Structure 1
Amino acid sequence: MSVSVDSSGRSATHTTNSYRSWSFDWTAPSSGSGTTSVEIAVLTANNQNGNNGDSWTSTSVSIPEIPPANSAPSATNVEINPNPNAGVGVDLVAQYTYSDPDGDPETGTEIRWHKNGALHSGFDGRTSIYASETSIGQKWKFEVRPYDGTDYGTLVMSPEVTIVDMDSDGDGVYDTEDAFPTDPNEDTDSDGDGVGDNADAFPTDATETSDQDSDGVGDNADVFPNDPNETTDSDEDGVGDNGDAFPNDATETTDTDGDGVGNNADAFPIDPNETTDTDGDGVGDNGDAFPTDATETVDTDADGVGDNADVFPTNASETVDTDGDGLGDNADEFPTNPAETKDTDVDGVGDNADVFPTDANETADSDSDGVGDNGDLYPLDPSESADSDGDGVGDNADVFPTDATETLDSDSD
């Protein structure tokens, strides 16, 4: 019998036609390749030395892979951390090394805890026991049975660990009594604020721990925690009450002139005598004779009229000079006539215009003869002023000034 295998090694052909059966050896694929399929084809011939009447028949055969037997996993280095003693307040952690000859991953491993020799199913499957679940004097251990999803390995028990009181920070106070078991500088927190009494500037005040400026007021309550001179800002203006001249007035902090009015509201912050300038003229109300009149500030003669408006600022009896003649209206008998100021004879004509300023009966002398027009019978004749005999001829021209019947003496007799 002869069998021909092709170069790929994937096909074998029976080459001896006188055999109805034949065989060959083959090597299965590597582990994990799965099921192998074999295709078989048979040519049925009628021995007529031709193809006529011959036929092919084929079939497929599946050869399943037979998996190797599973090897159980194992647990080694089984122990509790810490050991052999665990301080109270420390968690217990189960530790072990899992291994599997087949490389199978761990899944479903059983862990059980024993306390004081008794199994406690409430802790099954846990890899740690919290410190809050232990107490001083207890003895703990755990058992582990590794599992790879197919087989369990051998159950292994850890060494026993005893819970003991400890002084973790070495400060002489056991952890159970030490508020800060890992801080050698602290063991007490009297006010329960999380800061030890040694570091707490206010060990009995839970709201305070620090006083950066050492002013006796805690930083939380101190509005100015870095300023030893300040602790409070009553008006919340950013200036402490001690430095604030107006601690209850948020609009004021300083009173430079010490007049009781803050600089912001004080129109004259460096003048203690002034705070307000009602009329905005730059002169304070106290020093301003006219605090509501922006055009006036002084009344030198105290006549009620400001110096700016008073034509006679130093004369209390005068304020106006209507005619601008230099004499106030009160003293000027002709306040609207700049040419006159007096009327000595009170005749209604000013002295300057009155030819007879001291004679109330006369004001004019038209003919300039020295006799006023009222007393001059001939006001336009400078050579005459009287007519004693009333004859119409002036005394100077009348030869007989006292004889009304005569005026001339032609022959001078």
Structure 2
Amino acid sequence: MPHIAVVGSGPSGVYTAQSLVQQGSVPDVRVDVLDRLPCPYGLVRYGVAPDHEKIKSLQNNLRTVLHEDRVRFLGGVEVGPALPPAKLLELYHAVVYCVGAAADRRLGVPGEELPGSWSATDFVAWYSAHPDARDDGFVRGVRTAVAIGVGNVAVDVTRMLARGAAELLPTDMPQAALDVLAASEVRDVYMVGRRGPSQARFTTKELRELATLPDTEVVVEEGELTLDPGYRDPVALPAAVRRNVEVLRSWAARPRRDAARRIHLRFFLRPVEIVEGGGRVAGVRFERTAPDGLGGVTGTGRHEEIGAQLVLRSVGYRGVPLEGLPFDPGSGTVPHLAGRVLRGGVVSPGEYVAGWIKRGPTGVIGTNRPCAKETVASLIEDAPAVVRKELAQDPLTGLLAAGVRPVEWDGWRAIERAETALGLTLGRGSVKIPDWAGLLDAARGASGA
């Protein structure tokens, strides 16, 4: 009976498991979905903003796959020195790595390491209760924040910085983060891009949400917007970009009003230094850019400084090497041929990749479906050679023998029940447990282990 491991339980991993059990060419396939964390769903649990209930509800679809009879969730299983890829390949007929892109891109400017300078990934992990997150408080003592980047993650962190406590209370945000954000004194949030509005990566739905926040004014500068030829004449722009431009144009045309908080959307500003003051972030120095006529921008030599006590960089994700797998540092991906892992340019039998570690951090959640299907098609094509070996035992037995104590589906359900119970004690709905000890205590309680 073919037994496949899928490493990673985010959308790419779950879609890979789904494609494997739905294909009919290789019957009776069993799939173990392994994850380093005791909780499934990857960035759907730990990367989607807590106030985006519709997107978070995708967990219900992923749950259906993980609850399938031929799929087994095994959390708390870390592939690395104690369980290297070579060992995993001994336990399974094939392994598909769907480990995403866990690192953030750097700005590469002076002052980036100052206290108060963070990646948006760090901030998101904190308010999403990722057990590896640092509890820095982030917004304590902050009145002005700068988010560098103009994609959906930048919009998310900008929105969360401007949210009020009443709007966050119904979410599953961990209580400690809620308390800090509820006490926030942030009054101005700048979201800054080095290019123009027609090159921004945010979606119109995300952009419009900024104008729905209570007692919050969105400020745009018409003079900056008109630097963009696409803004001045949007006829040739793709429809999605044209909608963004229309939203920005409507905001530029309306009169300013008083509000408790302001969100400033700024364009054609490139960060050149994070400014220090008193041993921590005091602002960001930008160079004004201008379109170069080739779709990029060039520096003008003119500079502007925005004072701030918090800087969040949101300029993209990047894959990180997994010990024992080949890695291309230039692309931040594992070298592959239609999902087949390449070692030294040669296909490595039984090893595959899907998702961001395969193609880079591009696309939306749904993009992972065709990506997973391509990889599974390669695996099925290779099946006569890959699955002919006999496995000595149930892979779970081998994992236990290697000293791994997986959190199985019952353990994950116990975590969910514990989070519901925690929310009840706080007068809220389900509230995420933010630390390893709490998650594992809840999971182990399911079996009494």
Is TM (by shorter chain) over 0.5?
no
Larger radius of gyration: 1
Structure with a larger share of its residues in helix: 2
User: TM-score by structure 1 length?
Assistant: 0.12
User: TM-score by structure 2 length?
Assistant: 0.11
**Higher RCO, Cα 8 Å, sep 6+:** 2
Structure with a larger share of its residues in strand: 2
